Amino acid sequence: MNQPVILCVDDEQTILESLKIELKQAFGDQCLIETAECGEEALELVEQLREDNCELPLVISDYIMPDIKGDELLKRIHQISPATLKVMLTGQTDIDAVANAIKYAKLYRYIKKPWDTEDLIGTYY
């Protein structure tokens, strides 16, 4: 059986590195941490994981990205993988985007940047 994969999506490499370090410290070898720097890359990864029969229990996505906004990305991921927990992690507060993600992507959590590590980790535990 393949290891579960947590996918982090953000256009800022430093954010992705921080997320990867914190999640790896929390989960160790329980799951793999994958990253994508844009929505299209994330969608390709989700499709590949699905083809490989990998479990995708959690996606953490930024809202503001150059190609696809986070709410739209999470909506599209929901269509591919409805059981995946979807978290929007952003420094921008856009109530309409959060409402859109809740309605169409079944958004599980909204976490504001800078995030609290324990709060973020508690999303999956």
Sign of the alpha-carbon dihedral angle for 31, 48, 71, 40: positive
User: pLDDT tens digits for the chain (125 residues)?
Assistant: 589 999 999 999 999 999 999 999 999 999 999 999 999 999 999 999 999 999 999 999 999 999 999 999 999 999 999 999 999 998 877 788 888 888 989 999 999 999 999 999 998 86
As to burial, measured by CB atoms within 10 angstroms (0-12 exposed, 13-18 middle, 19+ buried), residue 74 is: buried
- The secondary structure of residue 106, as a DSSP letter, is -
- Model confidence, pTM: 0.94
Instruction: Please state which of the four CATH numbers 3.40.50.670, 3.30.420.340, 3.40.50.2300, 3.30.70.1560 is assigned to the domain occupying 13-122.
Output: 3.40.50.2300
